[in-house]
Chain A
Amino acid sequence: MMEKEKAVGVVGAEHVLDSPEILKRYSCDMSFTPSRTPSCVVRPNSLEHVQALIKLAAEANTPLIPVSSGEPRFRGDTVPTLGGVIVDMSRMNKIRMVDRKDRVAMVEPGVRFGELQTALRKEGLRLPTPLSPRQTKSVVGSCLEREPHIIPKYHLDHSEPLLCCEVVFGAGDVFRTGEAGGPGTIEEQQQAGRRQKIPMEIQMNINRILQGSQGTLGIVTWATVRCEVLPTVQKPLLAASDSLQQLLELAHWLVRLRLGDELFILNDVNFAHLMGTKLEMVNGLKEELPQWILLFCLAGYEFLPQERMSYQEKDASEVAKNVGVPLYETLCTVSANDVLARATSPSEPYWKLRWSGACQDIPFISAFHGVPELVGVMQEEAAKRKFPLSHLGIYVQPVCQGHGQHCEFSLFYDPTSPREAEKVKELYFAASKALMDRGAFFSRPYDLLSEMVYNRDAASREALRKLKNIFDPKNILNPGKLCF
């Protein structure tokens, strides 16, 4: 095990934490992953710190678990399966560059959505964000997790909005991905006008390999992210229906015809949890709302913004009419403007915890036609275990410009009730298996589901193990996760 004194020698005594209270906070999260106490928490502040820590860990065969987002954490990916040292990246929180001309920002792992959005807004830019992320969520962490955002037309690929990054592999080497790898140093590149935007290397794409790796291959010390122009005008609209199929059809055509920016579908439970300001309001909304609600937002940019919105609204209305769904500016006293504001801002307290105390998510990717069936599978599994549908949140996000659907079921429950927690845990496993059996693709297999996922694709598992052996041959980075 890495000696504490050596870690102190790298980052300073004040940044090596091992009080029981602190260690407990990193020993578990809100998932069902079994807790395990790390030996200490170190807080590096530079590339050199990270390099030195990886070197020490390799020498001492000590697991390192990189963590960039703050609490509460949910996926089990940062719970130390085999013990070891937590590498908390939150001190590396600088926004290194925002460039309006090239629509790009360079951020360290500790930068959170709220801070970055504020900095971008001053330059007339925005970063497409996941649906109301928790305030403590790291931008880099979100990108590395391939977390989808809510503007499908700017979700060009599952890798979006990540561009380039600097990473220290478990093998100890520093690497800069995409065009950040050269020619020249980063400073020389920037003097030449380059902004580290091209994410691909020549014949490989290390970014893609790092994404979804849950810190098992390397520790990222900065990343560039693709930003978009801040609209000069916006007009959000809502559509609602008791038929998911109907709203999926509407979403398909809006995304396909590039009408509007933000677009997502929530069921009544999720919508109420997101928008409720008091418990009575949450319950009232659940009762009054149609089963499914879609939000989309029209926008105009620098040139003729009002005219753009006007033709888009006309065309979108025509699409909605053809699908047979009316559009609203307000639904059950909730205005579309408020929904947009809530959806695009970090939430504190996190909206998924505000009304139930705990939440277990089941995220996966589906084809268009599979979504209603998979929703049915989830509801059946919930009914079998007497889990109330009034506690089942559903979020459907068209991704990659309409080439696929991200689905996320949220099981809201009371964490102070062991019986309820046990029931949710059972449902989580049973439903995940049933969903996989019916075509759901768990592209981001978190902790306890990993084995189930990789057992379905032995060839990918073997290929990934080869990569693990290349980038982290001593298996010091977050061991015990994925198939490693």
Chain B
Amino acid sequence: MNSEAYKMVENIVGPDNVSQDPGVLDAYTYQWMGEMTGGGTRFGPYRPACVALPSTTEEVQAIVKVCNRFGLKFKAHSTGWGLYASPGGGGVVVLDLRRMNRLIEINEKDMYAVVEPYVIWAQLQAEAMRKGLNCVTIGAGSCTSALANCTSVMGVANNNVSMGYNERNVLGVEWVLPDGEILRLGSLGSGAGWITGDGPGPSLRGVMRGAFGALGGFGIFTRCAIRLYQWGGPPELPSENIVSMDERIIGYPENIKLIAPYFDDRVSFEEAIANIGESEIAYATGLLERGLMTLGLGIDNRQSAEMRENMAPVIPKFIFTILLVANSKPELEHQIRVLEAILEHTGGKKFEMVEQENYRDIITLLLVKGGSVPARGVFSPTGSFSPILCGFFATRGTLVKAMDDSEEIKRKHVESGLLADDMGEGGWGPLIIDHGHAEYFENETLFDPQVPESIKALIDLTEETNQSLAQKKLPIPFLSQVKVARSKGLSAHDTIAPHMNVDYRSWQRKFKQAFDPNDTGDSCNYIESK
């Protein structure tokens, strides 16, 4: 990096907030799933040119302008999650946004919060709940950036059923474009507050993101408003034995109820999901499939193995949970009776074991807060995991096909012994989005990041699954495909586009060219300008 450029960045943020220390820089290449691009190590191959920690939009803008002037690339980093967060090439200035951590406003009547990039879901949720409101805490964890989720990445959640997917939960946005200009989306740009991100006229939210964001490759988002929703539970949901498998809620709320329905087959299971969606009774849905659940429940791998032996036969295969959160006693009673009617209609039964206090509490925390069960389940047995079907947004005709497909293909790969044996049943879901208008399911796969053959087995499994989906004319899950493509040095879009009836790449590339004329954004996960 040119010393003049570095000096300018230093002048912008101050010497304490910029670094070229190799140890510091390497930390920004170390990411979950980095081993897919790192030649057998989780450290990605590209060390940043420098790391800067701006604290205001103006500082972000100034750094981006320096990058434009000196032919450097830049990449935004907030809480970081996955190989997408690491630089995709040399000469990248990483802007670590951790100093921009202010929760600026909670508007109770219009039900939104204005946040900076380093406000995490847990922080936002804690403040919102005190005002009787709540937000969508995503499966990646309540420790992830709310702004990054809404503007730049993806992230589905158990409570998407009642509060929707976060692509639609973002309102006004402040966006430093790749050329250093500031764009304020919607009402914000007209000085009319944060109430909407659409207009005037065509909505520039359509440039900002689709089902996925640009993963840091298309400018930097410095503030945004996020929708909040009614929360019928208490202002706090305190618990004890935190970060253990025996975490307990202190005083389980009376207007919350957890039920775990199970079914004889996947068709009835899906019918029940549809009925639950249309009845608009659920606050949250979903569960870990029994293969994954039993891998992760024990305090160590030995106990997990024992639990799997003991519990797998006991836990039904076609099971999920539904959390009811009511605003009144009559509402909760109605929700319970509707669910019972749905189970009668679909042949479902209640799995009573989950209603026992120990299971009930930890699953409730998972569904409300994004608790510790998934992280433990997916990381502790082998050291890492990767979801297949990551980004597979389904509708009623397609969810079951993808679940069947992924399970069958995965089981075959598990037999190689290179992936953790979850019987093919490592799924998280089903998630219901917008009261049943869409559904989501991903199949987590545990692999050993220290064993190259295990990494390869994961990539082969992901690729075979995606190919199978494409052949069946089902959507290709983008984030899964990114991993396959990046491991081979390819663009994910170049591997997806041949299956499409329109070449969307040309339009996305035109966006890149128009809004990033100097090709300054690190677009390894977005699209290259040529």
Contacts and interface: CB of A to CB of B under 8 A. Distances in A.
Given A214-B201, A443-B199, A205 B181 contact: no
Contact of A403 (B110, B337, B478, B493): B110
A467 interface: yes
Contacts of B474: 183, 192, 194
Contact of A443 (B112, B187, B230): B187
A198 B437 CA distance: 9
Contacts of A302: 275, 278-279
Nearest to B505: A202
Contacts of B472: 192
Interface string B310-331: 0000000000000000011011
Nearest to B191: A456
Interface stretch (B43-51, B250-258, B365-373, B392-400): B392-400
B210 A201 contact: yes
A193 interface: yes
Interface stretch (A234-242, A344-352, A457-465): A457-465
Q: Which 10 A-B pairs have the closest CB atoms?
A: A193-B397, A182-B500, A208-B206, A443-B199, A184-B473, A441-B192, A183-B499, A368-B109, A311-B330, A209-B206
A203 B209 contact: yes
Interface residues of A, number: 95
Contacts of B401: 192-193
Contacts of B212: 202-203
Interface in A431-450: 436, 439-445, 450
Nearest to B198: A158
Contact of A315 (B111, B274, B328, B473): B328
B207 A463 contact: yes
A203, A315, A365 — which one has the most chain B CB atoms within 10 A of its CB? A203
B110 A308 contact: no
A100 to B, nearest CB: 10
Contact of A308 (B185, B198, B334, B499): B334
B206 A212 contact: no
B210 A403 contact: no
Contacts of A304: 334, 337-338, 341
Chain B interface residue count: which class?
Answer: 35 or more
Nearest to A184: B473
B229 A192 contact: no
A229 B189 contact: no
A403 B112 contact: yes
Contacts of A456: 189-191
Nearest to A449: B200
Contact of B342 (A189, A303, A401): A303
A389 interface: no
Contact of A176 (B333, B393, B502): B502
Contacts, number: 297
A457 B186 CA distance: 9
Nearest to B508: A204
B511 A212 contact: no
Contact of B504 (A201, A368, A402, A483): A201
B103 interface: no
A188 B210 CA distance: 23
B266 interface: no
Contacts of A403: 110-112, 171, 195, 227
B2 interface: no
Interface stretch (A88-96, A252-260, A266-274, A408-416): A252-260
A440 B279 contact: no
A470 B184 contact: no
Interface in B288-340: 327-328, 330-331, 333-334, 337-338
A336 to B, nearest CB: 22
Contacts of A423: none
A338 to B, nearest CB: 27
Contacts of A206: 206, 507
A404 interface: yes
A102 B433 CA distance: 13
B330 A301 contact: no
A160 to B, nearest CB: 9
Given A194-B473, A311-B334, A368-B109, A182 B502 contact: yes
Contacts of A441: 186-187, 190, 192-193, 195-196, 199-200
Contact of A193 (B204, B393, B398): B398
A92 to B, nearest CB: 20
Given A156-B434, A176-B501, A202-B478, A208 B279 contact: no
B476 interface: yes
Contacts of B187: 365, 441, 443
Nearest to B472: A192
A102 B502 contact: no
B514 interface: yes
Contacts of B207: 204, 209, 463, 467
Nearest to A482: B201
Nearest to A443: B199
A146 interface: yes
B139 interface: no
7 contacts: A175-B504, A217-B202, A301-B279, A315-B328, A403-B195, A443-B198, A482-B202
A314 B330 contact: yes
Contacts of A367: 107, 109-110, 193, 195
Nearest to B506: A173
Contacts of B438: 197-198
Nearest to A457: B189
A315 B181 CA distance: 49
B229 A211 contact: no
Contacts of B205: 205, 208
B1 interface: no
Contacts of A329: none
A402 B342 CA distance: 29
